[in-house]
A and B are shown apart, each in its own frame.
Chain A
Amino acid sequence: MIYKSLKRIYIGLILLFLYAPIITLIVLSFNASKTRSKWGGFTFDWYIELFQNEEIMSALGNTLIVALLSALIATIFGLIGCVAMQQLGRKGRSLITGITNIPMLNAEIVTGISLMLLFLSIGNILGKIGVRFQLGFMTVLISHITFNIPYAILSILPRMKQLNPSVYEAALDLGATKFTAFRKVVLPDLLPGISSGFLMAFTMSIDDFIITHFTKGPGFDTLSTKIYTELRKGIKPEMYALSTIIFVVVFILLLLVNHTPKEPNKKR
């Protein structure tokens, strides 16, 4: 019994450690004083001002669009990659896995810088033929897709390996086209992997700062880069309000999902 409560306490302590700063942020979002270090009384004002703050709203929009698109495209690429890898030999497969893993294993700063260098030289080449090129939404999106691909692959590949190829062949034998066979037989089995890959990619994209920092251009900010700019002169309390809202929304989603009766989902 003591052992059990020790376990509980341990989990509790780790969760406290993980959530302490988040609680701090939530508290700060109700702080009437603009400076972080003073408590100026309770207020809801920042929540109201948040929705009037166009800059933060557009940064939020950018963050979500980039995260959504990059996660979606990266998942598709990841799926294609996994299928393509099945047709390769052992060596080819580990080569491709190695390459796609680079953005995940490499230092973020190196990935960010290497992409920046690429975009800048593309810009130089285009500049010579008279095309104006500028860092911005597209370059950030491309970078996010690139670093999201390994997360998608890592979630899909293990599922792919568990597939029973004879089911797919059976479907073909029964007259299904390749596409139908894939869609009806293979895809459902891959779906948990695909969705967790998507979710992981989405999360990584939302949380990314370093790569965005190096590949973004004028007038394009995600929440991360916006916050980084604000860090210096003091974060605007609206930002705390926004994070609180995001946190609460995600938390509620999580609770909803876990309290609805479970769908007959196979164990991962």
Chain B
Amino acid sequence: MKKLFVLLLTSVLVLSSFTACGKEDGGNKLYVYNWGEYIDPAVLEMFEEETGIQVIYDEFETNESMYSKISAGASLYDLVCPSDYMISKMITEDLLQPINWDHVPNRIYIGEDYWEMSKGFDEEGQYALPYCWGTVGILYNTTLVSEPIDEWADLWDPQYTDEVLMQDSVRDAFMVALIKNGHSCNSQTTEELELAKQELINQKPIVQAYVVDQVRDKMIGGEAAIGVIYSGEAIYTQRENPDLEYVIPKEGSNLWIDSWVIPKNARNVENAEKFLDFLCRPDIALLNFDYITYSTPNVSAREMIEDEEIRNSEIAFPTLSNYNLEVYKYLGEETETIYNNFWKQVKAY
């Protein structure tokens, strides 16, 4: 026992000193909180090299889980990347600070359309810098379905029992049911929501699992035939498994835009602005796009994409007028509680 003890202790000590030596505690830091796999690690490295700022990078899974960390107040990040409706909520709750645009000259590379889109949740354009955008759609495996999928209603088709992957996030799940019923994905009426809840409950036996980012892995592996997914994953998954096809359902869908914001309690605002400016540089945005494959609002970066097929891809850069797309809005605390409660009831059913 004694010997094991000594052996263990020494090996642990050696290992920890070995792993700890790489970490140098410079004062120049930047705390970034982003979606999972939502940046090219090389971009972070280049930024660190160019500026000498050490980036501390964390990932979150859903807007809601990010919000609970930030609003609790004991997690101090300098940059966060929430979606539209969440930014609106955070602005309402006074959790963000305006960005000093003079320090982000490269913002000019972001297309005018996207600034317009931003106004939906950031009316005066003070808080949010567009980072990625896209649609929510259906990814399906052509070898596992009998005919091409093109509407949300297909997710209720009993022949696909145990083959459907739904999103495990409140708004996305309800969006699917609401739009299928012909309602707005920003519905606030209890009857419509009640109906959507019932639909989701009806759908439950067909659903294989409620997942968020795991859709990607499971679809590539052929574990499921149909999955609700963000458009940005389509290119990546198709690269890995050519049988996969992405479609925006004909009933319409959600158009989302993820933007960088600076929380009120950020401590390294200047570094945050430097980072934003860096990300807007077309070469960096392009590098990043190649890695994460989520549509970039950076017009110059898009023009630089070499693969013509991707540059003009209807998946990565859809012609918005061809689809019936709607951006999520923040619906206020009360409606949010209804959504949360209904979602809980669906999951518990």
Contacts and interface: CB of A to CB of B under 8 A. Distances in A.
A132 B19 contact: no
Nearest to B59: A229
Interface stretch (A85-93, A119-127, A156-164, A170-178): A119-127
B19 A60 contact: yes
26 contacts: A37-B221, A58-B23, A68-B9, A120-B72, A120-B73, A127-B73, A133-B74, A135-B74, A192-B1, A195-B2, A199-B5, A199-B8, A202-B8, A217-B75, A218-B33, A218-B58, A218-B76, A219-B56, A229-B59, A231-B214, A232-B61, A232-B213, A233-B214, A234-B216, A253-B8, A263-B3
Prevailing SS type, chain A contact patch: helix
B13 interface: yes
Contacts of B72: 116, 120
A249 interface: yes
Given A219-B58, A253-B4, A61 B221 contact: no
Contacts of B289: none
A142 B66 CA distance: 24
B19 A234 contact: no
B15 A37 contact: no
Contacts of B7: 253, 256-257
B232 to A, nearest CB: 12
Nearest to A229: B59
Interface string B73-114: 111110000000000000000000000000000000000000
A230 B211 CA distance: 13
B3 A260 contact: yes
A35 interface: yes
A263 B4 contact: no
B320 interface: no
Contacts of B74: 119-120, 123, 133-135, 217
A263 B6 CA distance: 14
Contacts of B77: 218
Contacts of B22: 54, 57-58
Contacts of B217: 35-37, 233-234
Contacts of A35: 217, 220-221, 240
Contacts of A166: none
A39 to B, nearest CB: 11
B205 interface: no
- The 7 A-B pairs of least Cβ separation, nearest first, read A37-B221, A61-B19, A219-B56, A232-B213, A257-B4, A123-B74, A64-B16
B12 interface: yes
Contacts of B58: 218-219, 221, 229
A5 interface: no
B15 A64 contact: yes
B348 interface: no
A124 B73 contact: yes
B37 interface: yes
Nearest to A230: B36
A218 B56 contact: yes
A57 B21 CA distance: 10
B216 A218 contact: no
A254 B130 CA distance: 54
A62 B296 CA distance: 35
Contact of B1 (A57, A195, A230): A195
